[in-house]
């Protein structure tokens, strides 16, 4: 199995972590930015990454579809229809509502506003989503005792947040999310993956 993306966490890290957690030996293909225009031109639209390529050559696009497919394959999606919804409401809030806002800071390009203004707006915009996720964590993980892809997603997006909004996230403000991150980071496969990348 091959996961194709750029050389950064971005929208692929959640799937890399799910595969690392499941101890799956996958090809972690990282495209160099200089080679991207030629690769993009050769692809059918929407020409974006990540792409998951299965052993039989079948490709899946869209980061959340890929992550949810892998979560189901490797037992991190929740055990019942309702648990899956609990997992997905956190994955979608963090990846769509929070991370898409963070990208406005990461790739700051506003012709009128300053970076500081965009950061303040982003903090305001993501606060309801962050409070929502904090409120639905059953402790110690999103589903209670059992780790799921939602917990891995919290780790990925909070790392992105810490890189772009510096002091916004704290254990004082979001104690349940901070505990999820601590719990996830102690899982040996995740610890090993993080030390390597």
| Shortest CB 175 distance to ligand GSH, Å | 29
> For ligand GSH, which stretch binds (CB under 6 A), given 18-26, 48-56, 132-140, 164-172?
48-56
**Residue 49 is a binding residue for ligand GSH (CB under 6 A):** yes
Token pair for residue 193? Answer: 């993956």
**Residue 59 is a binding residue for ligand GSH (CB under 6 A):** no
Q: What is the CA radius of gyration of the chain?
A: 17
**Residue 131 is a binding residue for ligand GSH (CB under 6 A):** no
Q: Which of residues 4-33 bind ligand GSH (CB under 6 A)?
A: 10-11
Instruction: Give the whole-angstrom CA distance, residue 49 versus residue 4.
Output: 7
Backbone angles phi, psi at 51, to 5 degrees: -130, 135
**Residue 76 is a binding residue for ligand GSH (CB under 6 A):** no
Binding residue for ligand GSH (CB under 6 A) from 1, 23, 30, 48?
A: 48
* DSSP code of residue 144: B
> For ligand GSH, which stretch binds (CB under 6 A), given 20-28, 47-55, 84-92, 178-186?
47-55
Token pair for residue 87? Answer: 């997992």
Nearer to ligand GSH, 64 or 187 (CB): 64
| Shortest CB 47 distance to ligand GSH, Å | 6
Nearer to ligand GSH, 96 or 171 (CB): 96
Residue pointed to by tokens 């999310």: 177
Instruction: Give the whole-angstrom CA distance, residue 54 versus residue 58.
Output: 5
**Residue 62 is a binding residue for ligand GSH (CB under 6 A):** yes
CA distances from 114 to 82, 105, 121, 125 (A): 43, 10, 11, 16
Token pair for residue 179? Answer: 């505990």
Number of residues counted as binding ligand GSH (CB under 6 A): 9
| Contacts of 159 by beta carbon, 8 Å cutoff, 6+ apart | 9
| Shortest CB 63 distance to ligand GSH, Å | 3
**Residue 40 is a binding residue for ligand GSH (CB under 6 A):** yes
Peptide bond into 50 cis (omega under 30): yes
Q: Which residues contact ligand GSH (rule: CB under 6 A)?
A: 10-11, 40, 48-50, 62-64
């Amino acid at each position: 199995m091959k996961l194709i993306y750029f050389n950064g966490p971005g929208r692929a890290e959640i799937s890399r972590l799910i595969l690392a957690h499941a101890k799956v030996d996958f090809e972690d293909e990282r495209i160099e930015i200089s080679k991207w225009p030629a690769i993009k031109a050769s692809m059918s639209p929407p020409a974006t990454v990540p792409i998951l390529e299965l052993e039989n050559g079948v490709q899946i696009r869209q980061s959340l579809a890929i992550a949810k497919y892998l979560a189901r394959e490797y037992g991190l999606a929740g055990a019942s229809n309702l648990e899956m919804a609990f997992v997905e409401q956190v994955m979608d809030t963090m990846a769509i509502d929070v991370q898409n806002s963070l990208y406005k800071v990461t790739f700051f390009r506003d012709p009128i506003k300053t970076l500081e203004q965009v950061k303040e707006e982003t903090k305001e915009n993501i606060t309801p989503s962050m409070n929502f996720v904090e409120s639905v964590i059953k402790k110690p993980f999103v589903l209670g005792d059992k780790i799921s892809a939602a917990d891995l997603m919290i780790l990925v997006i909070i790392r992105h947040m810490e890189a772009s909004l510096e002091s916004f996230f704290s254990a004082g403000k979001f104690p349940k999310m901070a505990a999820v991150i601590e719990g996830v980071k102690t899982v040996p496969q995740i610890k090993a993956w993080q030390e390597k990348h």
